[in-house]
Structure 1
Amino acid sequence: MGSTLFQSNGASIRLHRHDLPEGIGFGPVVAIDTETMGLLPHRDRLCLVQLSAGDGHAHCVQIIPESLGGRGADCPNLKRLLADAATIKLFHFARFDVAVLRQSLGVICAPVRCTKVAAKLVRTFTDRHGLKDLCKELLGVEISKQQQTSDWGAAELSAEQLTYAASDVLHLHALWAKLETLLIREDRLSLAQACFDFLPARGELDLLGYEDPDIFHH
């Protein structure tokens, strides 16, 4: 298992092939995102898992299938972290990520928080709930989405891809702090928590095909 270190805008981005190394700690809350070959968790393979402790640094784990010379879902350190009940996993659009991680790695991620759900609960005056918009409006941070549709299944990922991937987790802790303050102000923190608690089950429903029709529709 090899690791490669990149530097971008003052942040260190470390790429790990196959799994996290032993001994890496992320504290009580770890920001997580995924990159996949597409947007259907039951069809499109997982290629990259990005993680950050909110300290300005990111770790990216490249998941390479056995058919391409990798180890596939054999990533025990990463899976241990994802399943750790004592570590909160912080996502943006957790519904997709928890489904992908369940499908690809067989792990149920819990407990989770989701900045997209939080934003929709308190920012009802706008329909701009994407990570790019939230980072700009709440943090004054501009992030690029130029590499969003690049080929994440490539054997060698570019520095530009890794910089983009890292940007999706580097700001989540600060973003959550802003949104948590708004949830408390609007007396919706407990409602948000109930939504977060349901997200792993929502991901399971999506994998079973209950996204359309949604069982919660009339």
Structure 2
Amino acid sequence: MAVHLHEEDLPEGALAPGAVAVDTETMGLITPRDRLCLVQISDGRGDEHLVRFGVGSDYAAPNLRAVLADPARLKLYHFARFDLAAIEHYLGVTAAPVFCTKIASKLVRTYTDRHGLKDLVRELLGKEISKQQQSSDWGAPELTEPQREYAASDVRHLHAMHGILVERLAREGRAELAQACFDFLPHRARLDLAGWPDHDIFSHEAA
């Protein structure tokens, strides 16, 4: 198992066919303001690839964009809504089809309100991950080893959790509902980008 850092694009042929786990790191939580610094991606076979974008990047990244836009590849996320918006805004592609472990967790782990990645990895896989670097400077000229490990850990366990959560969704009769949520997520991300990040447009309230 290794963590590979690449500048500005993913090397051609770096990933095996099939589903990929995806995550992003940005300079903050406001997508149009806070630039995309890193995309993490893994094919679930033991290696994680970190693609870093520098200040002034044109985000061309043809190999990475091709993988993210491939309709034959399922993309696994934890809190897909944010990552989809960042990828669409900066890389110009819709990184779907989608499976979001956070939404799946909320649909089947109704016995808890703890749906963070750390909690999910602990319960489903019996492993511990550190979130210490979550708020670090992802736009720094060099990424530290703790930053690289943190970024890699965000995609390292998604394939294993996907398998467990698919079984639980089927067991609880919520697979179809989950799929409808996943299908809507790219549109939810576009609503965020278009200026409706907080307002519930489905609500009867006039606000």
Corresponding residue number in structure 2 for 1:106: 92
The answer (yes or no) to whether the contact 1:64–1:72 under 8 Å persists in 2 is: no
Corresponding residue number in structure 1 for 2:118: 132
Give structure 2 stretches of 5+ with no counterpart.
none
**RMSD of aligned alpha carbons:** 1.0
1:200 aligns with 2:202: no
Q: Return the match for 1:25 from 15, 37, 46.
A: 15
The answer (yes or no) to whether the contact 1:26–1:52 under 8 Å persists in 2 is: no
Q: Return the match for 1:191 from 177, 183, 196.
A: 177
1:143-158 aligned within 5 A: 143-158=129-144
Which runs of 4 or more aligned residues in structure 1 lie more than 4 Å from their structure 2 counterparts after TM superposition?
A: none
CA distance in 2 between counterparts of 1:217 and 1:55 reads 43
Equivalent position amino acid for 1:65 in 2: V
CA distance in 1 between counterparts of 2:198 and 2:49 reads 34
- For residues 22-62 of structure 1, give each alpha carbon's deviation from its aligned partner in whole angstroms, at most 9, with x where no partner exists: 12223210000000101111211100000111112100000
Q: State the number of aligned residues.
A: 204
1:165 aligns with 2:148: no
- The two structures have a TM-score, normalised by structure 2, of 0.96
The answer (yes or no) to whether the contact 1:12–1:58 under 8 Å persists in 2 is: yes
CA distance in 2 between counterparts of 1:216 and 1:155 reads 43
SS of residue in 2 equivalent to 1:54: coil
1:181 aligns with 2:140: no
Equivalent position amino acid for 1:52 in 2: S
CA positional deviation for 1:214: 2.1
- For residues 79-113 of structure 1, give each alpha carbon's deviation from its aligned partner in whole angstroms, at most 9, with x where no partner exists: 11110111111100000000010111111111111
Corresponding residue number in structure 2 for 1:57: 47
CA distance in 1 between counterparts of 2:76 and 2:127 reads 19
Equivalent position amino acid for 2:136 in 1: S
Q: Return the match for 2:25 from 24, 35, 57.
A: 35
SS of residue in 2 equivalent to 1:98: helix
- The two structures have a TM-score, normalised by structure 1, of 0.91
Equivalent position amino acid for 1:81 in 2: V
Aligned-pair identity in percent equals: 60
SS of residue in 1 equivalent to 2:23: strand
1:117 aligns with 2:103: yes
CA distance in 2 between counterparts of 1:91 and 1:126 reads 20
Give structure 1 stretches of 5+ with no counterpart.
1-10
